[in-house]
Amino acid sequence: MERDGDFVLLETGKKVRITYSEKENSAVKCAVSKLAEDIRKVCDCNVELGSSFGNSVSENETEIIIITMDTPCSLQNIPEEMLPALERIMDGQGKGRWEAYLHQIYGSSFYIVGADRRGTVFGIYDLSEQLGISPWYFWADVPVRKKERFIFSKDYSKADWPDVPYRGIFLNDEEELEAWSKLHTEDDTIGPVTYAHIFELLLRLKANYIWPAMHVNYFNGDPENGKLAEKMGIIVGTSHCDMLLRSNQNEWTPWLKKKGYENIRYDYSLPDKNREIIKEYWAESVEMNQDYEVCYTVGMRGIHDSGFVTETIDQDASLTPQERTEKKIKLLEKVICDQRQILTEVLGEDKGKKAVQTFIPYKEVLDLYDGGLQIPEDVTLIWVDDNFGYMRRYPQKEERKRRGGNGLYYHSSYWASPGMSYLFFNSIPLAQTGNELKKCWEQGIRKMWVLNVGALKPLEIDTEFFLRYGWEAGRKEGETKDVSQFISCWINRNFSGDFGVAAADIYNRFAQLNNVCKPEHLQSDKFSQAAYGNEAKRRLDSLKELSDRAGEIYQCLPAEERDAFFELFLMKLQASYYINASFYYADRSRLFWEWGGMQAADEYLEKSRQMDRRKQELLYYYNHVMQNGKWEGILTPESFTPPPTVLYPAAKPALVIGAASLGAMWEDKFIFHPHGSKEKTIILYNKGCGTVGFRAEIPDWLEISEKEGRAAVEKMLSVHIRESERAASFAKGRTGKIVITGEDGGRFEIEVQALKEAAYSYTEPFYAEADGCISIPAEGYAESVCSKEACWRKIKHLGRGWGSAMEAFLEAGEDMAAVSGENLKIMDSCYLDYSFFLESSGAFLLEIHRFLTLNPVGKVRFAIGVDNGRPVIIETKTVDEWKGSWKEAVMNDGEKLYTMLPWLPAGLHRLKIYPVDQYVTLHKLVIYTRRRKESNFGPLESAFFDGTKWKEAEDDRMPESAREVQAAFWRELYGSPADKELLLPMLYAAPDFWKTERLYARSDEKENRLGNIKYRTRADGTKDVFQEFGNGLFEEQDGVVAIEAEYALENSENAYLTPSVPNGKYCWSHTQSETDGRSGLAMMIEGRGRYWENPQEAPGMHYRIRIRDAGNYFVWLLMKFEDTDSDSCYFALDGMVLDAERTFSSHGGFFTYSMKQRWHWRAAAVMEMDAGVHVLSVIGRKSGLRIDRIYLTREKDWPPVDADWRESKRNKDNLE
């Protein structure tokens, strides 16, 4: 609403004059041009650009005056009365602050004044965003909302500048962005067209710095890249492995070829000519970029992020390991000295010394730095997280005093060791990122912040949060200091409808649940379906609820805003739900197969496939339908590159379904505690076809959801004490029995007991024991006591899965890390105090859920004290990457620590937690008074007595199956693409696959086509896959033997299984495959991490084959592996295990990044076979490897795809 005297900046039909000096820097001119475009998008007014200052402003126009203070003659264009306002963007020495800007209304003009060129640019784009132009208008299609007018309050004024001087991104593992650029730009690569959009985005986000793409090309390869960055005002640097603006992976070899140099290696330990040519390589890069504002990384690592190559030192046998390290340190110091000399020689003494330089102690270079490597005082040290969003270390006191300062390299995306990558979308909660950034600022990391954003999309919210946090890092107040506020404001800036608060709640909860196990890290049985209720279902239902709530916001938005909301917000919630659901239902299929519920085994496999199909449809929509295919190629998580995400979770379909028969399962004896779980669950199912009737008899003090009915796939019965009977039941300690009978004669008896309620004579708050445990959230303390030396900080939305976490902050934290043993003084003046009530006496197990904090130069400890007992130090070995349980911790968003409490009598007790080392962070405490059950989350929060009334324990009531209320809407939106549009190509690794380095290379492929359905359920619901196997040995014909691996299940003389020896515990078993029209079966050894060094002891699959055409046969397997823990097997012929030289593998197995998670044909071995009958054996080496088909051929031709597959004839009479 306009008020008297308000300043009308824009109004339909009126003119807006933008005045700026022709002497302005090109970056300012680019931004001025964009401002004019932005105004035209926002309001139908006439925009006029000019460079003449001092013109009068008519009533029918407004003027925007743009001035940069360090532009010649600029200050003379500022009214004298406005000069005092400029002091707001100056420092104490009267100089303009770095990148500061001022908005000021004076008379009829709106002034944007920058202290330097980027200050002016940021002032311009700040205005554009206030007008309604989202920084994401291009990269996420956020539409512009038209306005009739735009008004400022007459006293509006704004001065701002960044707290972190250099704020930027790293385009890394950027292959999807490259694929998009090839399809949508004339550069046919990430080049000036793509960079123009990226640079503009960065400037609109008030960022100034980039490490450009380095996997797909090299920035110097197109001179227009550097010119464009300078023109727009972006500072270019390079990452830890690329020195002096070179990009070695793609630049070194072409440069050598261009120069005509031969036999030159990127190894500075090789002296004379080799070293001089490396210096020439670096010097030419400095020459190319000498006229630009850039940042130079100094130091050295190998080509493509490999280790520091020092052949001369490594091969010197006279050196001890310590001497070798010292030599490497001296060599690296020489490298840096020579690089700095290059800078002064090319740039001149003054400019060379002032050039911004960084050194990144990352990976093995960090060890050299810790070994005493001397880095010049003016070089900025860049500290790195562990690649998963947990800071490894912070600068020590002396490092914080460095003139060059300290910087940060942080990850929201990472191509990791096998099985650990997360490249689909980032699920690190903003609360975690914000807290790590807060700690970085506290510890003096304040010069440069860089975020690894992968291929940029779909990491939009993560990118903006990181960059905005860097802008306001040192301020007590700010949008990013409260992640809920940030998300709310971010949503409301980009979308109408005021959905910000709801979206913030959705996103925070989603990120916490999702990060417990990133979708890319999902494995079978990751979450228990039986311990402490069904935690897998609880988590899945929560993800579904959040996805549905986000979907409802989507449907409430105007049509023109929906695509942007889908890109920025909804897609990742839906994708996460679909992926998690596909695993949940696959796990449930295997669970019911083990229970004998064969209908359910098949039904849940189908549900798993449906969820996978939804995910594929979502991706098809994102790439091909949304925005008319604008983003085709940029989101392809199922294909390489980068490495494919998780695919095809292992289910277990029924082999035989016979007559109806009732099955039942339940968790333990039903013991009801007054303050424990109120409901118990009985699962009924049909072991055979059709339905089976049941009847339940219960004591009259209990209530059951159904007393009789029919069960088919799965029926869940809930049992609880009648509300009217609760008091009497717990007072008397009632017992009873539930009897369930099936019409087939099956009978199941369940003992039931209501425990007598303990006498709680206390009036102070406490958590109560029930159901064999006490589960306390870390934020559920009775008292938090702080001191001058230390305190506990509550970090919202940082808990594992939900809730908050408690973080220790020590004023002298860095000094405490070096103290141990008797010299360690526990700060007993600072603690968290928890009160709990034990109904039983004993020495019980305490489980502490710890948020991951690292400290490789110190320790990570806290202390536990019970009642008035002496505190006990709890110390973790997980202090750095690849130490302790670090891998498991980053894959599970934290670690669990254990200690035994002293013997405690029944009654009220107090547990205190004392900080010992800086930033130790806790989420949850569990005291187990009965045997601990293996689960992911552990027990739900226990009942709490606040002194007057009870807050009952969180209940694990099983909600109804998540309703597909929005399913039809999304199917229509996604477009229901045909199967052939979603079917992934078939990948191949031929016999010569490993003749070149293939770990990171693309695989060969061809179009895949599905065959006919082979294994069906009959019309009456029965099933018998064995009838499709045939019988007899497998006949070679025309130099080919083609076998379905699952035929070993028949256990005949011609195809059979053998278990592991000596215990027979492990054996090959079946799972589903994607062949036979997706009805097929594959074989695998279930479980993870099992390895057989001796093939004679390993489980085997064996097939009798008759060879007529003697010779060498290539053995191809249609296989799937997840990582290097599941990528290998042995082969034997007639009981003789094949020698290693007869197999085709590398790195200890079949693993390549391009084939992980994908079904593919691999030539795995070659066998010399005489004419006659042989036994071919495939023997387990690593569990988890899936094998669908076996194909033996004399030729090197690729095996056929499913539609062309013809299995070998079986000779049931075993005759010639």
Say yes or no to pLDDT of 542 above 90: yes
pLDDT on residue 43 = 97
Average pLDDT on 829-849 reads 97
Which residues are CB-contacts of 559 (< 8 A; sequence separation ≥ 6)?
Answer: none
Percent of the chain with pLDDT over 70: 98
Average pLDDT score over residue span 1071-1096: 97
- Residue 1150 clears pLDDT 80, i.e. is over it: yes
Torsion of Cα atoms, 71 then 72 then 77 then 79, to 10°? 80
Mean pLDDT in residue range 949-964? 66
* Alpha-carbon distances, residue 222 vs 189, 251, 742, 1004 (angstroms): 10, 11, 76, 30
Task: Identify the pLDDT of residue 1044.
Answer: 98
* Of the residues 121, 139, 160, the one at which a domain ends: 160
- Average pLDDT value for residue range 248-272: 96
The reply to whether 492 falls in a domain is no
Confidence of residue 2 (pLDDT cuts 50, 70, 90): low
Residues 643 and 782 placed together within one structural domain of the fold: no
Q: Kindly write down the DSSP assignment for every residue of 491-512, as one continuous string.
A: HHHH-SS--HHHHHHHHHHHHH
For residue 1052, being part of any structural domain is answered with yes
Average pLDDT over residues 15-29: 96
pLDDT at 426 over 80: yes
Confidence of residue 1159 (pLDDT cuts 50, 70, 90): very high
Instruction: Please count the CA atoms within 13 angstroms of the CA of 335 that sit on its side-chain side.
Output: 26
491 within a domain of the structure (yes/no): no
Q: Tell me the backbone φ, ψ of residue 1001, rounded to 5 degrees.
A: -90, 160
Tell me the C-alpha distance between 1118 and 1045, whole Å: 9
Q: Is residue 486 part of a domain?
A: no
CATH of the domain at 387: 3.20.20.520
Query: For residue 624, what is the DSSP state?
Result: I
> Among all chains, which residue has been given the structure tokens 């690329």?
242
Are both 1001 and 1114 inside the same structural domain? yes
Is the pLDDT at 9 greater than 90? The verdict is yes
CA distance 637 to 622: 12
Are residue 682 and residue 624 in the same domain, yes or no? no
Q: At residue 361, does pLDDT exceed 50?
A: yes
Is residue 497 a part of any domain in this protein? Answer: no
Residues 460 and 513 in one domain: no
3-state secondary structure at position 534: coil
761 band by pLDDT with thresholds 50, 70 and 90: confident
Q: Could you tell me the CATH number of the domain that includes residue 777?
A: 2.60.120.1620
Q: What is the per-residue pLDDT for 1216?
A: 55
Residues 6+ apart with CB under 8 A from 279: 338, 342
**pLDDT by residue (tens digit) across 706-739?**
999 999 999 999 999 999 999 999 999 999 999 9
Please indicate, yes or no, whether residues 403 and 259 belong to a single structural domain of this protein.
Answer: yes
Confidence of residue 74 (pLDDT cuts 50, 70, 90): confident
Residue 212 three-state SS: coil
**HEC secondary structure over 1125-1147:** CCCCEEEEECCEECCHHHECCEC
Task: State yes or no: pLDDT of 421 exceeds 70.
Answer: yes
Distances in Å between the alpha carbon of 505 and those of 485, 548, 550, 779? 10, 13, 10, 19
Residues 590 and 646 in one domain: yes
pTM of the complete model: 0.96
Domain with residue 33: its CATH number is 3.30.379.10
Nearest to 585 by CA among 577, 596, 575: 577
Q: Please write the tens of the pLDDT for every residue from 107-118.
A: 999 999 999 999
pLDDT in tens, 982-1007: 999 999 999 999 888 888 888 999 99
Per DSSP, 419 falls in state: T
Q: Is the pLDDT of residue 5 over 90?
A: no
Which residues, in sequence order, are CB contacts of 1139 under 8 Å at separation 6+?
A: none
Strand ranges across the sheet with 747-754: 670-672, 747-754, 735-742, 692-697, 708-711
Ordered DSSP codes for 341-365: HHHHHHH-HHHHHHSEEEE---THH
One domain, residues 796 and 747:
no
Q: What are the φ/ψ torsions at residue 665 (nearest 5 degrees)? A: -140, 145
Return the pLDDT at 783: 96
Report residue 1056's pLDDT band, with 50, 70 and 90 as the boundaries.
Answer: very high
Contact 989, 1155 (CB under 8 A): yes
- For the segment 1148-1159, the average pLDDT, to the nearest whole number, is 94
Identify the pLDDT of residue 940.
Answer: 96
Closest CA relative to residue 636, chosen from 943, 985, 1117, 374: 985
The CATH number linked to 619 is 1.20.58.2150
pLDDT score at 1145 = 87
Per-residue pLDDT tens for 461-500?
999 999 999 999 999 999 999 999 999 999 999 999 999 9
Identify the pLDDT of residue 962.
Answer: 43
- Assign 823 a pLDDT band (cuts: 50, 70, 90): low
Averaged confidence pLDDT in the chain: 95
Range of the domain at 686: 658-754
Where residue 863 falls among pLDDT bands split at 50, 70, 90?
A: very high
Q: pLDDT, tens digit, for every residue of 238-258?
A: 999 999 999 999 999 999 999
Q: Which of 723, 754, 785 is the last residue before a domain boundary?
A: 754
Per residue in 219-232, pLDDT (tens digit) is: 999 999 999 999 99
Predicted pLDDT of residue 817: 47
Mean pLDDT calculated for residue range 894-905: 98
Whether 278 and 372 map to the same domain: the answer is: yes
How far is CA 143 from its chain centroid?
29
Here the tokens at position 1180 are: 């387990």
User: What domain count does the chain have?
Assistant: 6
Choosing from 925, 951, 977, the residue where a domain stops is 951
Average of per-residue pLDDT across 268-277: 97
pLDDT class of 956 with cuts at 50, 70, 90: low
pLDDT value at residue 474: 97
Residue 226 lies in a domain: yes
Question: Domain check: are 642 and 672 in the same one?
Answer: no
Closest by Cα among 874, 873, 876 to 855: 876
Question: What is the average per-residue pLDDT within 1022-1035?
Answer: 96
The answer to whether residue 877 is domain-embedded is yes
Tokens found for residue 1073: 């495959």
State yes or no: pLDDT of 1 exceeds 60: no
Tokens found for residue 840: 């039983």
Sign of CA dihedral 114, 117, 118, 124: positive
| Domain of residue 689, CATH code | 2.60.40.10
C-alpha triplet 283, 284, 285: angle, nearest 5°: 90
Verify that 1068 and 1143 share a domain, yes or no: yes
Task: Determine, yes or no, domain membership for 980.
Answer: no
3-state DSSP call for residue 1099? Answer: coil
Average pLDDT rounded to a whole number, residues 359-368: 90
Instruction: Tell me, yes or no, whether 641 and 681 share the same domain.
Output: no
Bond prior to 1062 in cis (omega within 30° of 0): yes
Q: For 449-570, where are the alpha helices, taking DSSP H only?
A: 460-471, 483-494, 500-516, 535-556, 559-565
Task: Supply the pLDDT for residue 1215.
Answer: 59
So what's the pLDDT on residue 885? 97
User: Do 888 and 825 share a domain, yes or no?
Assistant: yes
Q: What does the pLDDT read at residue 964?
A: 55
Per-residue pLDDT band for 965 (boundaries 50, 70, 90) equals low
Question: Beta-strand (E) ranges in 830-928?
Answer: 831-838, 845-851, 861-866, 872-875, 895-900, 907-915, 921-928
Strands 406-411 and 380-384: parallel
Statement: residue 89 has pLDDT above 70: yes
